[in-house]
């Protein structure tokens, strides 16, 4: 949040971790205002001048917002293009279909060879 009448491009950072339990307005409102510019949140409440004076206790430093790099769109690194070999994929699919049939045929074959002829 901005503090006092500092220049518009400066953002003042406060560490309120030690103040969470003691904040008269509660810890939930403090937490909901962390990690962002909480100037409006702070001002909207109409904090007293003694509340403003307390802020010095939690002062960490100023950030020159013009020095913050603007967010850049993430572009994933280019992947090398691999020649995809579809034949092995096809062979695997074919085997997945044929192997069970082969086992079934084998089982029937073995059965018909080993079957004792029906007593006549």
The residues that touch ligand HEM, with contacts defined as CB under 6 A, are: 14, 16, 23-25, 29-30, 33, 38, 41-42, 45, 47-48, 50-51, 54-55, 58
Task: Give, rounded to a whole angstrom, the gap between the first and last alpha carbons of the chain.
Answer: 102
- Residue 34 CB, shortest distance to ligand HEM, in Å, is 8
Pick 18 or 86: Cβ nearer ligand HEM: 18
Residue facing ligand HEM at closest CB distance: 25
- Residue 61 CB, shortest distance to ligand HEM, in Å, is 14
Asked if residue 30 lies in contact with residue 38, where contact means CB atoms within 8 angstroms, the answer is: no
- Residue 71 CB, shortest distance to ligand HEM, in Å, is 24
- State the residue for tokens 């939930």: 28
- Residue 80 CB, shortest distance to ligand HEM, in Å, is 50
Pick 40 or 89: Cβ nearer ligand HEM: 40
Pick 48 or 99: Cβ nearer ligand HEM: 48
Residue among 89, 94, 22, 100 nearest 57 (CA): 22
């Amino acid at each position: 949040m901005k503090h006092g009448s500092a220049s518009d491009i400066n953002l003042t950072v406060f560490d309120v971790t030690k103040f969470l339990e003691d904040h008269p307005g509660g810890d939930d409102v403090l937490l909901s205002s962390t990690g962002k510019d909480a100037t409006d949140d702070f001002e909207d409440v109409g904090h007293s001048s003694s509340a403003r004076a307390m802020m010095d206790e939690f002062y960490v430093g100023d950030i020159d917002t013009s020095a913050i790099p603007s967010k850049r769109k993430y572009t994933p690194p280019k992947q090398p293009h691999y020649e995809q070999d579809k034949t092995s994929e096809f062979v695997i699919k074919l085997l997945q279909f044929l192997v069970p049939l082969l086992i079934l045929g084998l089982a029937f074959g073995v059965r018909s060879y080993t079957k004792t002829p029906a007593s006549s």
